A and B are shown apart, each in its own frame.
Chain A
Amino acid sequence: MNKAEILIIDDEEQIRRMLEITLKTNSYIVTEASTGSEGLIMASNHPPDIILLDLGLPDKDGMIVLQELREWHTGPIIILSVQNSEEVIIKALDKGANDYLCKPFRTGELLARIRSALRSSAAEESEPIINSEDLQIDLLTRTVKKKGELIKLTNTEYNLLSIFARNDGKVLTHQYLLRAVWGPGFINQSQYLRVFIAQIRKKMEDDPNRPQYLLTESGVGYRFMSNTV
């Protein structure tokens, strides 16, 4: 595996140190910025494979840094923040963050999110196929197989699942999903979403109550993980 470069934008030295040690010992190349402006300059001089962005920066609001990054940077951005309200999380995702981790977070969780963000950004141009241990999704032939067996999905179920498959590892908000599957008039019909998620889980998960693939992000949305670690 070639070494991915990660840019950390966080003003807390201690957090940067911990991240640096964790990431370097997991074979990533790490660069660091302690302010928003510094981070923006570093990202534009040398675009990293992933940006870890803190929201509480001393010089400018992390949301604005995110917005400015998204004007030209297409790579994955993961937010690391002490703010855990759903409003803030949804806002960050709407502004183009790929993922959101609340501090304090567990290292294993962070590494899993980084891996899946890297995977999905690498997979964007390749074949639209999810091929995990016991689940195969082929977006060209519109087929879904579980342990080699074809799963029968209704049209809506398939539409929903295909959106997840195209956004492997990424948190998708309720509103995003409702708009994408049912259209803008349905963004408040979250009960549709819950029903369909439950139906897909019943067909696809070993234990629908302890899902491995289709995970709930409480109060925010859902995340599809083809390769849960």
Chain B
Amino acid sequence: MKGRQKQYFISLGLVLLVSAVCYGISPWLGYRVVAFILLLTVSLIAISFDILPVLVSATLSAFIWDFFFIPPRFNFHVGNTEDIILLIMYFVIAMISAVLTYKIRLIEKASRKKEEKANTLKLYDTLLNSFSHELRTPIATILAATDNMQSGNNNLTKENKDELINEISKASLRLNQQVENLLNMSRLESGFIKPKIDWCDINELVYDTVKKIEDNKITQKISITINPDLPVVKTDKLLLGQAIYNLLNNASLYTKSNSRINIAALVHTDILEMIIEDNGEGFPANEIENVFDKFYRLKYSKAGGTGLGLSIVKGFIEALKGRVSLENISTGGARFTIILPTETSHLKVLS
């Protein structure tokens, strides 16, 4: 049954039920008390239903009261003037209560919408700020470096030039990373992600991903602890690879140089568990539950970052029906754990 139909069904049913009960006990009640009971019923209906079903119930209950309760009973004739006034008042009060409740609900809805809009605006503001920072900083670097080299400044040594070129290269990589994040986020937001599940060699995936991170010239040391005979698992290697990449990238961005990062993978029956740990400073305990939220940035984090990286991790892992969690390690550092339901195969040797 559709929502509107259901509302008519319930509200009219309620009016009929209450009327029937009142009819049964009417020998002990005055018919004027019945009017109040019916009015109460209509008001209750008005609290949660749309205006039309409420108006219809109000009208119906007025006719029922007139027909079954006001003497002389079983016709629409009303005996005395007092009852005529009462009936008119009943009808008007029922209508007013219906319309008023409806209006209050409208106002509530509008203020909720306003609040939502304010929240969206606030989010949009944060987003704009972080993105203008994250996109403009590398662009500023590139422009400044190229201007510098084009200026004909003869004081630039070869070392200076090499350094400028190196900065341009680093800035471009950073821009590229942000664009990747934005594209991935819009994929997630559009609900366009359909995992392509196929057999995947986790060793291969991890080594490839670590190599990509190492190509960014990071200063941290990444170690890999995975059994070379780990069974192959069924998953979408691009989504999982991107999630691992973001976690490793995050660790390399937010730990001091020469920190250590370790990535491990284990297969339990039909479960793939991946753990990415670092020996950095870990996360503030009261913010751990927020770090996977979209656009969330740690309160006292250094400049940079858009709050997208970890939310993409969560989005991709959830698209694979898994979950990802974060905890601080007691000896220092952060530990991300990915748990993925998966099929595994020990088919390892063929001839």
Binding site for B on A (CB under 8 A): 86, 104, 154-157, 190-192, 194-196, 198-199, 208-210, 216, 218-219
Contact = CB atoms under 8 A, between A and B. Distances in A.
Interface of B: 172, 176, 196, 198-201, 203-205, 207-208, 211, 224, 228, 232, 237-238, 241, 345, 347-351
Contacts of A86: 196, 238
12 contacts: A104-B172, A156-B350, A191-B347, A194-B199, A198-B204, A198-B348, A199-B349, A210-B207, A210-B211, A216-B204, A219-B196, A219-B237
A209 B228 CA distance: 9
Given A195-B348, A195-B350, 6 more contacts: A190-B198, A194-B200, A194-B204, A198-B204, A209-B204, A209-B228
Contacts of A190: 198-199
B146 to A, nearest CB: 13
Nearest to B176: A104
Nearest to B238: A219
Given A199-B349, A210-B211, A216-B208, A194 B241 contact: no
Contacts of A216: 204, 208
Nearest to A174: B198
Given A199-B349, A218-B208, A194 B232 contact: yes
Contact of B350 (A104, A199, A208, A209): A199
A191 B344 CA distance: 11
Contacts of A191: 199, 232, 345, 347
Contacts, number: 50
A209 B224 CA distance: 11
Nearest to B236: A219
Contact of B351 (A156, A208, A209, A218): A156
A218 B199 contact: no
Nearest to B203: A209
A207 B200 CA distance: 19
Contact of A218 (B203, B232, B238, B348): B238
A86 B237 CA distance: 11
Nearest to B207: A209
Given A190-B198, A194-B199, A194-B201, A218 B350 contact: no
A157 B350 CA distance: 9
Nearest to A219: B238
Contacts of A156: 350-351
Contacts of A157: 351
Query: Which of B200, B204, B241, B347 has most chain A Cβ within 10 Å?
Result: B204
A154 B238 contact: no
Contacts of A192: 350
Q: With a 10 A CB-CB cut-off, give which of B205, B208, B211 has the most chain A CB atoms.
A: B208
B223 to A, nearest CB: 12
Nearest to B172: A104
A135 to B, nearest CB: 20
Contacts of B200: 194
Nearest to B345: A191
B176 A154 contact: no
Nearest to B226: A209
Contacts of A209: 203-204, 207, 224, 228
Contacts of A199: 349-350
B347 A218 contact: no
B332 to A, nearest CB: 28
A192 B350 CA distance: 8
A218 B241 contact: yes
A31 to B, nearest CB: 27
B142 to A, nearest CB: 13
A193 B30 CA distance: 87
Name the residue among B199, B232, B348 with the largest chain A CB count within 10 angstroms.
B199
B16 to A, nearest CB: 60
Contacts of B198: 190
A192 to B, nearest CB: 6
Nearest to A217: B208
Nearest to A188: B198
Nearest to A202: B228
Nearest to A215: B208
A208 B207 CA distance: 10
A58 B196 CA distance: 31
